[in-house]
Structure 1
Amino acid sequence: MDINQFLLPESPVQEIQHPLLEQKKIKLAIKRDDLLHPIISGNKWRKLKYNLINMQTQGCDSFVTFGGAFSNHLYACAMACKAFNLKGHAIIRGPELDKRNPTIKMALACGMQLHTVDRKTYRQRHNPEYLASLQNQFPNSLIIPEGGTNQAALQGVMELAQSLPKSNYVVCATGSGGTLAGLAKGCTGNTQVIGVAVLKQADYLNHDIRQLLTTQHQGALWQLLTDFHYGGYGKFTDEVWTFCELMRQTFHLPLEPIYTGKMLFAIWQLISQDYFPKGSSITAIHTGGLQGLDGLKYRGLIPR
């Protein structure tokens, strides 16, 4: 595996023009990381990049990771297997494998090995004893956490932070906390990083993010907003989906309602409520995940 293949041109930045923004004197830009890589987009590429480099430098012949059946991380890992001719294993929250599910179908087509476990076993995915047993089962494999969040992932997200235009605020959707932590580590002290939690009861993520940053954190101030989950992880309201469609039609900005749609809708509401001072500049991170739309269509949650 040639490390030079990971040296990609930076994704573009899209400026949004809208009467609300003019009225509130706010500048809003979207970092289009959904366009970063042709098949492994957004924060999933950022997080995987240095994990895959570590896999090579440590002499591992495969990796093992974790995901739900519709997981963006699972999809990205499967695509990495295909693109870079890697061997990958995924522990899937089961108990059964639905081979009609578009994410599962793609993972299998990419040659990834999928291993279903029951929910009780899946909850052990952070348990050191369980991880040690997996290391015994796959002895020459690099174990990558669910969502790809670890210190190697932060390296990739810090590169994202350093590519951003100068802003007062940088905002991202937050699931496991890795993207928020990497942005906080990579942005300057003049920028405030805001994470929009996409799951219910997400206050525990504050602890996880602090653990990732360590006590020596010297980067940007950060905070996690936990009131914009719109029903919880994997759930969304009609209002969120209508907003996603409006953004696609008006600005040619494709969104899905699980991560980026919630995040940008939250920003829109906060701007309306004068949360951001007049004259503020905001950069919102489009973290990709558009493959999730196929899963939502498959489950009948959005129109085909």
Structure 2
Amino acid sequence: MSSPFLPPFTQPIENEISRRAGVELSVLRLDSMHPLVNGNKWFKLKYNLLEAQQQNFTTLLTFGGAYSNHIFATAAAGNLFGFRTIGVIRGEQRLPLNPTLSFAVQQGMQVVYLNRETYRQKHTQELHEDLRQRFGDVFIIPEGGSNLNGVRGCTEIVSDAEEFDFICLACGTGTTLAGIALALNQKKRVIGFPVLKKGEFLAQEIDNLLNNYLDSGLPAPKYTSAPWELKCDYHFGGYAKVNDKLLIFSKECNQKHGISLDYVYTVKMFYGVMDLIQSKFFKKGDRLLLVHTGGLQGNLGMEKRL
């Protein structure tokens, strides 16, 4: 599978908060890799698409909400690499379609809906068999690309990162954090910022992903896992919830650093990092890499709701 993607670049940034604290900040710009399939979503899709291709599947089926970055990326990647795609959407159909689902349909994705009760069974073999009976021989990718193929891809996001002490990222399923932690040595620390309310549950999910990957027989990482932790106080009310404080912060980041942030994930992590710097969680001389996981397409749909 040839790659149309640019390598991400690292952008140093500086502001008054980090300057006073003596903390160095850089941003890993995964959002710059491709206009449609970017951020951590590509890394979580990469080995799922390769497996589907190797097993001669022609159709991908996956799950997501109506504003899902994963649905958007899967539709675009399917079109890019020659797969038919089916998106199983949580909840009832609402017309007109929002920008995310309109784009997915334009990319050739067949969009179908499941009521929320049935959607909760998205991981079960029973629902998968029902979907295969309905749609034929499909390659099923879990919501968010959260499987061991997704973890494997995310081990490629950050290499040794010798020049950094901390890697910071937003968390939805924990897949990206697991992959990044596997790629780093014990001298590094990974900090995840869950965007879900009561995100403490992700710790067990991440442990499961790490253990399952190490036991899977997939290509072994160079390291067992860097130490990691979650900071669960920066969800701003829950998934896709924002307030004026966050919107102002996002606007200021764009004006000062020329970096657009998505409202669901990266802006909450950026805000959390700045708050931790002010509360002296980091010490003078610490070097932080903030991972921009893309998702900017979701801003348009959210701005229409705000």
Q: Do they superpose with TM above 0.5?
A: yes
TM-score range, shorter chain: over 0.9
Partners of 1:42 and 1:256 in 2: CA distance: 11
The alignment covers a number of residue pairs equal to 297
Partners of 1:109 and 1:181 in 2: CA distance: 33
**C-alpha displacement of 1:85:** 2.5
2:267 alignment partner in structure 1: 261
- 1:131-150 maps to which residues of 2 (within 5 A)? 131-150=128-147
1:275 alignment partner in structure 2: 281
**C-alpha displacement of 1:23:** 1.3
**C-alpha displacement of 1:137:** 3.1
CA RMSD of aligned residues (A): 1.5
- 1:58-207 maps to which residues of 2 (within 5 A)? 58-162=55-159, 164=161, 166-207=163-204
What is the one-letter code of the residue matched to 1:75? F
Partners of 1:153 and 1:99 in 2: CA distance: 32
Partners of 2:128 and 2:161 in 1: CA distance: 36
Q: Is the 8 A contact 2:171 2:192 kept in 1?
A: yes
**C-alpha displacement of 1:67:** 0.6
Instruction: State which of 205, 208, 222 in structure 1 corresponds to 2:205.
Output: 208
What is the one-letter code of the residue matched to 2:233? D
Tell me the TM-score normalized by structure 2: 0.93
The reply on whether 1:286 has 2:256 as its aligned counterpart is: no
Residues 249-285 of structure 1: CA distance to partner in whole angstroms, max 9, x if unpaired?
A: 1110101221000000000000010001211000000
2:217 alignment partner in structure 1: none
The farther-off stretch of 126-135 and 16-25 is: 126-135
Residues 103-131 of structure 1: CA distance to partner in whole angstroms, max 9, x if unpaired?
A: 11111111101111111111111223222
**C-alpha displacement of 1:64:** 0.7
Secondary structure of the residue aligned to 1:4 is: coil
**C-alpha displacement of 1:39:** 1.3
Residues 197-231 of structure 1: CA distance to partner in whole angstroms, max 9, x if unpaired?
A: 00101121111111100075811001111111011
Secondary structure of the residue aligned to 1:64 is: strand
2:2 alignment partner in structure 1: 4
Q: Is the 8 A contact 2:160 2:183 kept in 1?
A: no
What is the one-letter code of the residue matched to 1:205? L
2:224 alignment partner in structure 1: 218
Partners of 1:60 and 1:80 in 2: CA distance: 14
Instruction: State which of 21, 24, 27 in structure 2 corresponds to 1:27.
Output: 24
Q: Is the 8 A contact 1:97 1:116 kept in 2?
A: no
Q: Is the 8 A contact 1:102 1:298 kept in 2?
A: no
Partners of 2:277 and 2:95 in 1: CA distance: 41
Q: Is the 8 A contact 2:6 2:32 kept in 1?
A: no
Q: Measured at CA, do residues 244 and 280 of structure 1 come closer, stay the same or move farther in structure 2, by a change above 3 Å?
A: same
Identical-residue share of aligned pairs (%) = 37
Unaligned runs of 5+ in 1: none
**C-alpha displacement of 1:237:** 1.9
